[in-house]
Structure 1
């Protein structure tokens, strides 16, 4: 599931982009933001299809060995446990995956088979693969456990694969951990006769509304917030404050004033955590200090209007 923190990160990136470009076309930027977050589903599908393509390449190798002039008994009678893996079959047979691939015309692994080969080579050399083929237990749950381990230990941490995704879409750098977590979560939950769906990465209607509102309101009020931040940081020249810190503070202030159902503690904690990953080493302390001062001022002046108990 695309969570609120991931949505905030996407908004942060779009706010940064529009401020840097000095564009005033909010509608265009909103459309790009929505398109960008929906591309997360494409990354999810690519990660699933990648395991299918590794299986397909393994089958190609088996067929080639069978046709060798001096084929061995093992070449002619190969172990097909991986080829017949039931979890892989549930990806191949998924109606939603098929429809998405056809609609999006995804051809990434046919055009970039070197990454499939890299993963297959690593898999074949692993003890995980050897143990799986030698295991006499032949059940759906055994197949599922193997694919989960394959994904977790070989696919997800592969640096060449990560670099490839980054070259395709820079925003996928931030999506990659979220997608991999979702892939592993879904695999763990799969049962016999289940098919993979895309519901895990769909953005809920209220989350999409939050995304657009947070982006638009942050941009529309950002000049106003600059003055308020200046007033609470008299020893800091605005130009000395990191751009990302300013954006995160402004987004938090937007949530304080224009999102009455979001508790202020949640807002503060979220932006402090995002700052730890996306800004300077001391940013989280600076952001916390500024937000604390402005929150007290908003409470005192009556500008803060939260709905429900425990929201301050």
Structure 2
């Protein structure tokens, strides 16, 4: 679920917030980094559980409708297609998922159920829902496509839900696009025969990704003086105050990655940090960073300092 670019972003944010120097203890920042990464999984669980809550909310709504004092024939025999949606039932009846929600104490919607109501009302008023409910039966494929569309068109873009998630955890703002993409991917691949584990993906692709996050953070912090010197030598015509703090952090990380991670291709490193700069820094930052890194790479190649291993890594 967690990709290398997002790992770099998390490391960037942690280093940016770090106020110490090479010799200072950065255990608290390292703990913050790991917690920030791990909290992505809780965001995933929270949004997945929202789908379950919508199913429960719909079931309660139908039950109340049937008990109306002046219930119509339609009220007494409501269309239960949504609450019987096979994907929603698969989520609701997934024992492993339910146990994980309990273990991680994902109880937000019990405490803040007004946000479930917000999404439920948006669902009921949508053309997507009205079209889906025109019939009373469906197959797994239709049910799955509908839930994908509900998540993509109603849940993911909801401003009130976004504000709520931001209030719950500030780092979730940056995590949301990655988590939303992961949920859509997992639901699209869901089958009636899928094992329960399918709905609980690993946060890291492998152990190397977690190690990469820690190594990149520690090696950047522990070599800040050396990295800053390399930046300074290539920005002699620049006033230090004109270099954005984020740009300086990105340059530190990029140079650290170029010189300390032999298995990562040079082009991958440069492209990743240019894309992060476009998203998180000034409009001209990517051009500035590209110019500095290009000079350094040529210099390192001439001095044989890149030490890249494997074919095609230059």
TM-score bracket, normalised by the shorter chain, equals: over 0.9
Report the counterpart of residue 177 of structure 2 in structure 1: 177
The structural deviation recorded for 1:295 is 1.1
- Mapped partners of 2:285, 2:54: distance in 1: 43
What TM-score results when the alignment is normalised by the length of structure 1?
0.96
* 8 Å Cα contact 1:248-1:275 kept in structure 2: yes
Matches within 5 A, 1:141-160: 141-160=141-160
1:56 aligns with 2:46: no
Verify: 1:11 aligned to 2:15, yes or no: no
Count of equivalent residues: 312
Query: How far 1:197 moved relative to its partner?
Result: 2.4
More helix by share: 1
SS of residue paired to 2:18: helix
Unaligned runs of 5+ in 1: none
The 1:203/1:24 distance shift into structure 2, 3 A limit, reads farther
Report the CA distance between 1:20 and its aligned residue: 7.2
2:86 matches 1:81: no
Q: Could you report, residue by residue, the CA deviation over 1:252-304 in whole angstroms, capped at 9, with x for unpaired residues?
A: 00111100011111100000000000000000000000011111111222222
Report the alpha carbon displacement of residue 202 of structure 1 after superposing the two structures with TM.
Answer: 3.8
SS at match of 2:19: helix
Determine the C-alpha separation between the residues in 1 that align with 2:142 and 2:37. 34
Distance 2:60 2:23 in 1: 51
Superposed CA deviations along residues 170-198 of structure 1, whole A, max 9, x for unmatched, are 11111100011111111111111323422
Aligned position for 1:92: 92
Q: Contact 2:41 / 2:203 at 8 angstroms: preserved in 1?
A: yes
Q: Where in structure 1 do 4 or more consecutive aligned residues deviate above 4 Å?
A: 20-23
The 5 Å alignment of 1:1-312 reads 1-19=1-19, 24-135=24-135, 137-194=137-194, 195=196, 196-202=198-204, 204-312=206-314
CA-atom RMSD in angstroms = 1.6
